[in-house]
Amino acid sequence: MSNPYQDAGVDIESGYKISKFVKQNTNNNGNIGNFGGIYEIPAGYKRPVLVSGNDGVGTKLLLTNQAKKWDTIGIDCVAMCVNDILAQGAIPQYFLDYISTGKVDIKVEEILKGVIEGCNQANANLVGGETAEMPGVYGPDDYDIAGFSVGICEKDALLQKENVKTGDVLIGLTSTGIHSNGYSLVRKIFFEENNFTTDTVLPEVPEKTLGELLLTPTKIYVQDVMPLLEERLVHGIAHITGGGFYENIPRMMNDDLAAKINVDIWPTLPVFELLQKYGQLQLNDMYHIFNMGLGMVIAVDPTKEIEVLELLNESETVAYTIGEVVTKDTDDLILKGEKL
């Protein structure tokens, strides 16, 4: 007997299989399959505030189809949401995903493996999601992914612009690579202008294919930053995403302040050297676009600098003092260093 919905290109059985897959691979599976995700606010808060965020992964997802590797892009999606929540001073609590595609197949399970791993890294519960098969909107191999997350903190612990003061020390937390921004330019440089493929191995980075290098997932900063928030050691946080240093760092402070940063302090990641070389980009322009090796910048009281660095670098060096907050003269951001 024919199934008219399946004849139209939608396999509803695939959705049931996806729900079953998520239930089997998460601890918090009581919500999966319900009409809405349920989450109980933890006890102990006096004036709890919920902080929410949603995001996607941009055109980075196109590389997953090129490389036939879909198991990390879900980490990126979780990271983009929970890192934004951290920047407000909140601890992520739960996450939901939305995946739309022309055909639900093995790639969706692989994507969800990344979502589940990202939630584990963020200590966030996966309380639900949606997988939509949409032939006609997407080709069989096409897809998109978006996420939504909610965090919590005390109202008086919210990180607000007025918390950041002149003289505050700026500490940068290292990134794992490009993260999930700027990939339209990345793809243009490597695949259009230089005709590389995801299988290309460049002599500057012989240990990885270009696909492996570019699909390195976005770092999730929950484990690094949560202890600092719990001890109230942070005045402000900038999540370095689209717009790079110039757009994101000034967002955590008032208009009369500026950030003064020495770009020679932290190590340069090979992927940014490749972008500059093969894209013939001006270094200063790259700070307008990419995270340049720092995925987060936090502002702390100078008397707490050593304590914060020791907490962040307890097991490995992931954080560097990169500058300070100053009274603004003309520019929101002042970069200096021999690299420039």
Three-class HEC string of the chain: CCCHHHHCCCCHHHHHHHHHHHHHHCCCCCCCCCCCCCCCCCCCCCCEEEEEEEEECHHHHHHHHHHCCCCCHHHHHHHHHHHHHHCCCCEEEEEEEEEEECCCCHHHHHHHHHHHHHHHHHCCEEEEEEEEECECCECCCCEEEEEEEEEEEEHHHCCCHHHCCCCCEEEEEECCCCCCCCHHHHHHHHHHHCCCCCCCCCCCCCCCCHHHHHCCCCCCCHHHHHHHHHCCCCCEEEECCCCHHHHHHHHHCCCCEEEEEECCCCCCCHHHHHHHHHHCCCHHHHCCCCCCCEEEEEEECHHHHHHHHHHHCCCCCCEEEEEEEEECCCCCEEEECCCC
Q: How many separate domains does the chain show?
A: 2
- Measured CA to CA, the distance from residue 328 to residue 326 in angstroms comes to 6
Average pLDDT taken over every residue of the chain = 94
Whether 123 maps to a domain, the answer reads: yes
Say yes or no to pLDDT of 33 above 80.
no
Q: From 256, 263, 222, 227, select the one nearest 239 (Cα to Cα).
A: 222
Across 14-23, 92-101, 310-319, least confident range = 14-23
Whether 4 maps to a domain, the answer reads: no
- The predicted model gives 13-32 an average pLDDT of 68
Whether 191 maps to a domain, the answer reads: yes
114 shares its domain with 185: no
20 compared with 73, residue with greater pLDDT: 73
208 shares its domain with 280: yes
Say yes or no to pLDDT of 287 above 80.
yes
108 shares its domain with 151: yes
- The predicted model gives 300-308 an average pLDDT of 98
Percentage of the chain surpassing pLDDT 90? Answer: 87
Whether 1 maps to a domain, the answer reads: no
Place of tokens 């440089």: 189
Domain boundary among 157, 177, 200: 157
pLDDT band (50, 70, 90) for residue 145: very high
Do the beta carbons of residue 91 and residue 224 sit within 8 Å? Answer: no
Across 31-45, 81-95, 211-225, 301-315, least confident range = 31-45
215 shares its domain with 115: no
14 shares its domain with 149: yes
325 shares its domain with 204: yes
pLDDT band (50, 70, 90) for residue 20: confident
89 shares its domain with 39: yes
216 shares its domain with 78: no
Q: By residue range, what is the domain housing residue 54?
A: 9-157
Domain boundary among 129, 157, 185: 157
The pLDDT, as a whole number, for residue 332 is 97
pLDDT band (50, 70, 90) for residue 261: very high
The pLDDT, as a whole number, for residue 26 is 75
CATH of the domain at 125: 3.30.1330.10
Whether 2 maps to a domain, the answer reads: no
> Is residue 67 exposed (0-12), middle (13-18) or buried (19+ Cβ within 10 Å)?
middle
Domain boundary among 157, 175, 198: 157
